[in-house]
A and B are shown apart, each in its own frame.
Chain A
Amino acid sequence: MGLARYLLYRTLGLLLVVLGVLVITFVITRVIPGDPASLFAGPQHSDPETLERIRTLMGLNKPLYQQLIDFITAFIKGDLGFSWHTGRSVAEELADRFPITFELSMLSLIFSITVGIPLGIISAVKHESSIDYVIRTLSIVGVGIPSFWLGLLLIYFFGFNLKLLPIGGLLTPTLTRPPKITGLLLLDSLLTGKIDVFNDVLLHYLMPAFSLGIGIVSHLIRLTRASVLEVLQEPYVVTAVAKGLPPRKLLIEHVLRNALMPVTSWTGMVVGYLLGGSILIENIFGIPGVGSFVFESIMHLDYAPILSSVLLMAIIYFTINFVLDILYAVLDPRVRLK
């Protein structure tokens, strides 16, 4: 299959998945609950008059297939509903909050990759040594540790006991928020030249990014280690060793090149983990991103934001995976031949 045909094939696949997920979400949210109107209205607004208004507004009196079409077109138009617990439209809320979640996720991702992959390589190259055992033990603990619990532990030790790090929020109240350019706090403060704000925000991001990233670091260690070990026993590695290639050169040119491919394909899964984890971590550290919006909406039984945010997160997840798949196909032509 040529690259162009592969692209077309995958794009159609992506559209199909998004459509499928919209249909599944529609079934979960509109067909399964006995009375979707009261679900969307929330417990405080359940008088018959409001419910009737919501029913007409949501088109619940129309036939089911018409509702499905309306549901999909509204979503495409960016009409994501109204959040009564914040009093704003969900689209507005998400526009404000998404950059923050993005920034936090990126920091976690950078942390995970720069720590996880090197440790995995060391663990594989020095396998069955004491370093390997230490790294493996740590990675099992890291995979298993509940991120929300780790966050609380960190707050307790570094924030409450040692008073080293801020326990929540994004900015010390005495500092002013930089003017909004991209919505990314770190980038905006750099662009406007406010180094003190940049440092302060970075300090606030440290513990959340660590708690969110530690699970990914550990998964990456385990994956990288397994992958490198597998490549190390390939015949061509034996040949290279026999020919007297220096180990460092062997590792970089023969082993890592082949071993890191499967690891990159896992990056897509990471996005799902980051988005899911942000619900917990942002809430614990009081970071006003999409994740804490979902959490607060759950607490308030504010249904429309939960639905739209989760759907949006899912679509971001597909899109990133789609881009990664394409990249993967470009890097490794064998993938598109299948």
Chain B
Amino acid sequence: MSGAMKRGFQRLLFFGRELLNHPSGLTGLAVLMFLLLVVILAPLISPYDPVAQDWSSVLTPPSWSHPFGTDQYGRDVMSRIFWGSRVTFAGGLLTVLIASLVGTTLGLIAGFYESVISYVIMRLTDFFLAFPSLLLAVLIAATIGPGLINATLALVVSWWPWYSRLVYGQVLSIKQEPYIEAARAIGAPSTRIVFKHILPQALPPVLVQFTMDLSYALLSMATLSFIGLGTQPPTPEWGVMISEARGYLLKGCWWLFLWPGFFLLLSIICFIMLGDALNDILNPKIKMVMKVRRLRF
């Protein structure tokens, strides 16, 4: 086993051990694993075809044959939830992955080379940060047209600056560390300093942000779909399902909007709990807080 792999493995072990002592983080992770299984196994565990219409059982409440009920076209809601998890998760994950990759790279460049490039990148970051992100995403998605890929793109454009600013700040402070100067003194090339010494130190807060952002990404993705700018019907997606259910709300068809919202909420909460846990593990400063005495009144 090479050194880097061994270190990585040890780090993972450390995370695992710490997470075991963190009940809410562990719960979040466990439920997410379960949801991930649903995402992967959707074609196997879905009882029906998610887009197959069945006019003999339209708008039926939950029953043994349709545990989550059926919608206005007689489509099985449970199968649509399972298949929809794929769309929502894929969109959310892709958004955060690309945004963090772009943002981190730009932040690294801006932080490492303090020059005109750095100035340009950071001013651009400021302009994009100044825009409320959902509004910017709505504007972009409305311009380039609705659809899953376009919605992802719109969210990426409004999210990368969070990462570039985070990483920029990290790099600036890490650069002051003596070991960076030491690496410079022994003549290490810039690329080695960036990838070997700066990046690994800058990553932990990015990881926390990444996990937290997954929750917001799922929410934003569903929101865009709900407004009609994301995934288009008849593709099953949680936001689309909630939007379609609106027309049947006052007919008492609660099962149409309850399930997609419930699963969306569940996934979001789990990502938040996991993000909080990672934050606790990576920022031991918070742990001290636990020792503060309670004020008595």
Which A residues form the contact surface with B (CB < 8 A)?
17, 20-21, 24-25, 28-29, 32-33, 39, 125-129, 140-141, 143-146, 148-149, 152-153, 155-156, 160, 167, 229-230, 232-233, 241, 247-248, 250-251, 271-273, 275-276, 279-280, 284, 294-295, 298-299, 303, 306-307, 310, 313-314, 317-318
Contact = CB atoms under 8 A, between A and B. Distances in A.
B228 interface: yes
Report the interface size class on chain B. 35 or more
B261 A140 contact: no
B25 to A, nearest CB: 12
B245 interface: yes
Return the 10 tightest CB-CB contacts between A and B, nearest first.
Answer: A272-B132, A276-B134, A149-B261, A144-B268, A20-B127, A144-B269, A247-B295, A229-B289, A310-B139, A232-B292
Main secondary structure on A side of the interface with B: helix
B15 to A, nearest CB: 21
Main secondary structure on B side of the interface with A: helix
B143 A39 contact: yes
A314 B143 contact: no
A307 B139 contact: yes
Interface stretch (B42-50, B92-100, B171-179, B246-254): B246-254
A299 B223 contact: no
B143 A28 contact: yes
A17 B127 contact: yes
Contacts of A229: 289, 292
Contact of B135 (A29, A280, A313): A313
B127 A152 contact: no
Interface string B87-110: 000000000000000000000000
A142 B37 CA distance: 26
Contacts of A294: 138
A238 B49 CA distance: 64
Contacts of B293: 241
A304 B222 CA distance: 24
B296 interface: yes
Given A149-B257, A275-B135, 7 more contacts: A28-B139, A33-B144, A127-B290, A144-B215, A146-B261, A250-B295, A314-B136
A17 B130 contact: yes
Nearest to A132: B294
Contact of A152 (B130, B134, B215, B257): B257
